[in-house]
Amino acid sequence: MSNDILQRLTETLEARKGAAPESSYVAKLFSKGDDAILKKVIEEAGEVLLAAKDADKQHLVYEVADLWFHSMVLLAHKGLSADDVLNELARREGVSGIAEKASRK
């Protein structure tokens, strides 16, 4: 189920790349470029941190959904998708975090 949602969202984001900025929120973000998209990712990450300090788990889920969404907008803007991230997570599966970090150097 979750992969279906990610796939549909990826398709929607791709369709918005060529849309008129006034036609959708995502098209507007794409038209503004890197700085606007990065600002939203940073803003949403901060909201996740604040929500994590609350006792309201649903608020945290809501904010993480916003962060994931805006991260996917960023990925699409850079010609990437959730599949690229999922493939990287699959590559790391079963690998020690310490060993994985050491392999990046």
Q: What is the pLDDT of residues 25-67, one digit of tens each?
A: 999 999 999 999 999 999 999 999 999 999 899 999 999 999 9
The answer to whether residue 1 scores a pLDDT higher than 60 is no
Average pLDDT over residues 21-27: 96
Q: Closest Cα partner for 73 from 37, 25, 45?
A: 37
The pLDDT confidence band at residue 100, using thresholds 50, 70 and 90, is low
Six-digit token pair at 31?
Answer: 């038209």
Average pLDDT over residues 91-96: 83
